[in-house]
Chains A and B, each alone.
Chain A
Amino acid sequence: MKVYYKTLKDLPREELFAPGHRMCAGCGAAIAMRWITKTIGPNAVIANATGCVEVTTTPYPETAWMHPYIHVAFENSAAVASGVEAAIKALKRKGMWDAGDTKVVVIAGDGGTYDIGLQSLSGMLERRHGVLYILYDNEAYMNTGIQRSGSTPKYAWTTTTPVGTAVKGKIQWKKDIMGIVTAHRVPYAATASVAYILDMVNKIKTALEYTEEGPTFLHIYAPCVPGWRYPENKTVEIARLAVETGYFPLYEWDHGKLKLNPPSNNHLDKSKRRPLKEYLKLQGRFAHLTEQEIAEIEKELDAYWEYLSRLAQL
């Protein structure tokens, strides 16, 4: 990534996301929205998929957005953004766009990206629209009351993967969305966590600049208070532990090269990661995990790191 902001003092101060929205107290996605809107700057159009963010920030007649913003449906934010991007291009060519170099940004949740939105995302990536797609991942369909999505981790409790006597939590592993996106050979894709703001905003700005070349993608980890079942003051702590335990590594895919970002760049060595239990046990959705199940998750995590390290060497 290009380092636009070196220290916290360099960060933009102007709030471009108004308070008074209806997001839960302590919402990880709210932190993400504040920093996304600040970093992309006022000259951008936002296309948002249906979800927690959309519903809590646009209760008619109020809106938290200071940007030009459109919500259409659940599965099509990438297609809508493709249309906006094409319109700006066409209107500029005809001398009819008066706002200069306007960027187009998608904000969508995991439901609207991994599952129902996967097709339109893939289409947008394949067509190489100059759009920055930002995924805020709270690992379930949270807006409808915590149902599992393709992004929900294995064994996690949700209302559609409850912990019962016969089945305990989600059966399948979490889908690798970064793998799917990078398979489209986009110029830039990166993971970020709301606990590492400097890393996140530098990635947002880098990704935004790279939209000159094609589509870019950001996978932001955004913990959810009611969905993950933890007290609302722990959001940043959990987002930090996710990275420190190696569960959610921070990395970038920059023009075909995978690069791990601090502190994840040290975590190839398993001994440098914090024990996974520290991350899991803080969350009620994992409270039922047995030692055996935790060991299974650790094994899968090690395999994932093995895979990442091979990609990093390519």
Chain B
Amino acid sequence: MCERMPHQGYRDGAGGSMMQKTKLVEALTGNYAAAYAVKASDVDVIAVYPITPQTTIVEKLSEFVANGELNAELIHVESEHSALSAVVGASAAGARVFTATSSQGLELAHENLHIASGIRLPIVMAVPARALSAPISIHNDYGDVMNARDTGWIIYIVASAQEVYDTIIQAYRVAETANLPAMVAYDGFLVSHTVEPVELNDEEEVRKFLPRPQRPYTLNPKRPVTMGPLASPDWYYEFKYQQATALREAYKLVKDVDALYGEKFGRSYGVVETYRMEDADYAVVTYGGAAYGNAKAAADMARERGIAAGVVRVRLYRPFPTMDLLKALEGVKAFAVLDRAIMFGSPAEGPLYKDVATAMFMHGVDKPAVSVIHGIGQRTMYVEDMYKIYTMLKERPNKEVVFMGVRP
């Protein structure tokens, strides 16, 4: 999981006057990187409520405000449902907003996830992913994020503190252009609390990258509108269709903004990241920092033992990057999808596996593929385990679900 430098690296001197002259690098946790990104993005209103492992984001933001470094209103709400409600209200009034939550907090706020995307508000929310109760777990898996994936939000799953920083800034531009809320998820603890070097952008340049958009509608007495009306069967479907279309269109938008960001700040990631896939026979498809990092180490190990192994990391989860993913897996003989969440009762319990299988089915691709579930409740995913996935793929890849790392 030591992915610090994005694959495109830095371009010293290239880009001319658009590149910042001095590099400011801080040692930050994923959560602190999120806070710095919010600070740079000229956010107006932040709803603050603590939940492990998100708490240090809002602590850092509170510190910034207390020191006069961030000119934002903090609303110390009394629950996560109110946190999302407050940013819905603030965003509707035209403010640029931020909030963060995890696990049970995301569950409590759930109805507002649908409402935020239904009213088409450009809210940005950080979600350090954490397992869901019961039993209660404060540790990392993606049960909470996966439970929110059908709510009409743009969802990024990122893998390093640097990527958290960069993606939150990108998310504002994407959200405000698409008029859709955006979630930036990452490993709770494993990324949120791990210190890595993060290159920070010049804040003035970030503001230039994030000009204030002309919002289609806001709550303003000069142009009064009604938001959140009652829609009868004659009307409701059209608005949901609008959302579906907007989310599909956001696929290209995410790529475009990421590319623009790369031109301006020197770092970009794409929607799908690949490792040694040019000539891979067998691939592990996964998301998040811990899984990706260990899968890469396992791929190296497999390569040393003569298995042409590669890794694919899904960065944009919603809208689903079908074409980029299919392209990445074009040449493989078999692949495994490593999921860190269990969708109980599903035909296959791995959520990403389901999405990949559907994408393949719809595009006439039929490859042997295994759904591997691991890292539930932050069960340690050893590199050895991931290596075993490659050997399994080489020996007999069946379309089945393998619960790895559990004592059944």
Contact = CB atoms under 8 A, between A and B. Distances in A.
A–B contact with Cβ pairs below 8 Å: the answer is yes
Interface of A: 42-45, 47, 54-55, 58-61, 63, 65-73, 75-76, 79-84, 86-91, 93-94, 96-99, 102, 119-120, 122-123, 126-127
Contact of B221 (A42, A122, A127): A42
Contacts of B119: 70, 72
Contact of A43 (B88, B221, B232): B221
A202 B71 CA distance: 37
19 contacts: A42-B221, A45-B93, A58-B229, A66-B224, A70-B227, A72-B85, A73-B112, A79-B89, A82-B86, A83-B75, A83-B97, A86-B73, A87-B93, A90-B73, A94-B71, A98-B222, A119-B79, A119-B82, A120-B85
A90 B95 contact: yes
User: Of A44, A66, A69, A82, which is in contact with the most chain B CB atoms at under 10 Å from its CB?
Assistant: A82
A80 B95 CA distance: 13
Contact of A87 (B71, B82, B94, B232): B94
B399 interface: no
Contacts of A120: 78-79, 81-82, 85
Contacts of B218: 68
Interface residues of B, number: 47
A59 B85 CA distance: 22
Contact of B228 (A61, A71, A98): A71
Contact of B77 (A47, A71, A79): A79
A90 B97 CA distance: 11
Nearest to B239: A60
Contacts of A69: 219, 224-227
Contacts of A80: 85-86, 88-89, 92
Contacts of B115: 72-73
Interface in B63-112: 71-73, 75-79, 81-83, 85-95, 97, 111-112
A60 B221 contact: no
B406 interface: no
B231 interface: yes
Contacts of B212: 96
A54 B115 CA distance: 15
B85 A83 contact: yes
A82 B228 contact: no
A45 B78 contact: no
A191 B79 CA distance: 28
Give me the 8 closest cross-chain CB pairs, A-B, nearest first. A83-B89, A123-B78, A83-B86, A58-B229, A87-B95, A79-B82, A80-B89, A71-B228
B344 interface: no
B235 interface: yes
Given A45-B219, A91-B95, 7 more contacts: A59-B230, A67-B221, A71-B227, A72-B89, A76-B85, A87-B44, A87-B91
Nearest to B46: A86
A259 B226 CA distance: 37
Contact of A82 (B75, B225, B227): B75
A45 B76 contact: no
Contacts of A66: 224
Contact of A122 (B47, B78, B92, B93): B78
Nearest to B219: A68
A58 B226 contact: yes
Contacts of B75: 82-83, 86, 127
Q: Is the interface of A mostly helix, strand, loop or mixed?
A: mixed
B78 A72 contact: no
Given A82-B77, A87-B93, A72 B229 contact: no
Nearest to B79: A119
B220 A98 contact: yes
Contacts of A102: 220-221
Contacts of B112: 72-73, 76
B64 to A, nearest CB: 14
A105 to B, nearest CB: 12
B82 A73 contact: no
Contacts of A81: 89
B93 A76 contact: no
Nearest to A77: B85
Contacts of A45: 93, 219-221
A116 B54 CA distance: 27
A60 B240 CA distance: 14
A192 B21 CA distance: 64
A74 B237 CA distance: 22
A80 B87 CA distance: 7
A98 B79 CA distance: 31
**Taking each of B75, B89, B112, which has the highest tally of chain A beta carbons within 10 Å of its own beta carbon?**
B89
Contact of B229 (A59, A87, A123): A59
A90 B222 CA distance: 18
A61 B235 CA distance: 8
Interface in B303-325: none
A46 to B, nearest CB: 9
B280 interface: no
Contacts of A61: 229, 235
B171 interface: no
Contacts of B232: 59-60
Contacts of A90: 44-45, 71-73, 90, 95
B86 A86 contact: yes
Given A67-B221, A72-B115, A73-B115, A91 B226 contact: no
B93 A79 contact: no
A70 B92 contact: yes
Contacts of A70: 89, 92, 119, 219, 226-228
A66 B228 CA distance: 15
Given A81-B89, A82-B89, A83-B93, A60 B71 contact: no
A98 B220 CA distance: 9
A69 B72 CA distance: 24
Interface string B46-69: 010000000000000000000000
